[in-house]
């Protein structure tokens, strides 16, 4: 079943002499449960594509569907992670993770239980009372991941989420993300310009080229790893 579908998506920024054709007629069908990495040189339209799927920006023409399961189903709200964790600095780690739970209208006892579970999921049990500035970059990004998971969405959109981290921390987070993706049966669209990172994570790699942004390769990767 299809979780995310782009058909004939074109995005033009600006107008007249300043117009930039960032994406030119992009078709992409992402199946539920797929881990897709979008790769390509800087400026090829990776972030643009992700922002359009997220609904953070509008297509110039074409259509984006995001249903998480079947295209007949209702639209889902995806989780989005950026290179910066964008935590609320004045809130504790637990309170940051609790924000989506409040938005979802969960009762206090349920929120507490879920925060504890999410902290465990990202291996941060015991850090709930800390503030973001007391944590390392990798830990902050794990808090951001927990907060995104608290949305309980089937689709994760990630724009170079580990790009600012050192290689060792990134390796650890790759392992964690892979485990969480598998356990929660998530559909992931992951932007990176790091081909090694894509090879490590993806079961499908989509390569974009720039001027104009188009898909020039779309390859399934057979990754030897425990499957669901």
Q: At what angle do helices 108-121 and 137-149 cross, to 10 degrees?
A: 130
Within 8 A by CB and 6+ apart from 103, the residues are none
In terms of CB distance, is 2 or 47 closer to ligand ADP? Answer: 47
> Binding to ligand ADP (CB under 6 A): which residues in 41-80?
42-48
In terms of CB distance, is 60 or 169 closer to ligand ADP? Answer: 60
CA pair distance 23, 9, nearest whole angstrom: 7
Under 8 Å between Cβ of 67 and 3: yes
Stretch of 37-45, 98-106, 143-151, 175-183 contacting ligand ADP, by CB under 6 A: 37-45
In terms of CB distance, is 14 or 105 closer to ligand ADP? Answer: 14
In terms of CB distance, is 57 or 178 closer to ligand ADP? Answer: 57
Per-residue string for binding with ligand ADP, 152-181, x by CB under 6 A?
A: --------x---------------------
Place of tokens 């057979």: 222
The burial of 193, by beta-carbon neighbours within 10 Å (0-12 exposed, 13-18 middle, 19 or more buried), is given as middle
Under 8 Å between Cβ of 206 and 37: yes
The reply on whether position 9 binds ligand ADP by CB under 6 A is no
Contact residue for ligand ADP among 8, 13, 63, 134 (CB under 6 A): 13
**The residue count for the chain:** 228
> At its nearest, how many Å lie between ligand ADP and the CB of residue 15?
10
Tokens for 17, please give them.
């002499």
Residues near ligand ADP, by CB under 6 A: 13-14, 20, 22, 40, 42-48, 160
């Amino acid at each position: 079943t299809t979780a995310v579908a782009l058909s004939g998506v074109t995005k033009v920024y600006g107008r007249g002499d300043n117009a930039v054709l960032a994406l030119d007629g992009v078709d992409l069908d992402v199946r539920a449960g797929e881990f897709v990495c979008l790769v390509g040189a800087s400026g090829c339209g990776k972030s643009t594509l992700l922002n359009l799927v997220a609904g953070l920006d509008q297509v110039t023409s074409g259509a984006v569907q995001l249903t998480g399961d079947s295209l007949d189903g209702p639209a889902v709200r995806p989780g989005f992670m950026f290179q910066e964790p964008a935590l609320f600095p004045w809130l504790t780690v637990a309170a940051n993770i609790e924000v989506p739970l409040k938005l979802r209208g969960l009762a206090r006892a349920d929120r507490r239980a879920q925060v504890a579970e999410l902290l465990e999921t990202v291996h941060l049990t015991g850090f709930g009372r800390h503030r973001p500035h007391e944590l390392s970059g990798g830990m902050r990004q794990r808090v951001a991941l927990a907060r995104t998971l608290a949305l309980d969405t089937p689709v994760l959109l990630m724009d170079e989420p580990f790009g600012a981290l050192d290689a060792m921390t990134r390796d650890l987070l790759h392992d964690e993300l892979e485990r969480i993706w598998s356990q929660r049966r998530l559909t992931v669209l992951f932007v990176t310009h790091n081909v090694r990172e894509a090879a490590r994570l993806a079961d499908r790699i989509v390569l974009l080229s720039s001027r104009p942004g188009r898909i020039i390769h779309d390859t399934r990767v057979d990754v030897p790893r425990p499957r669901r």
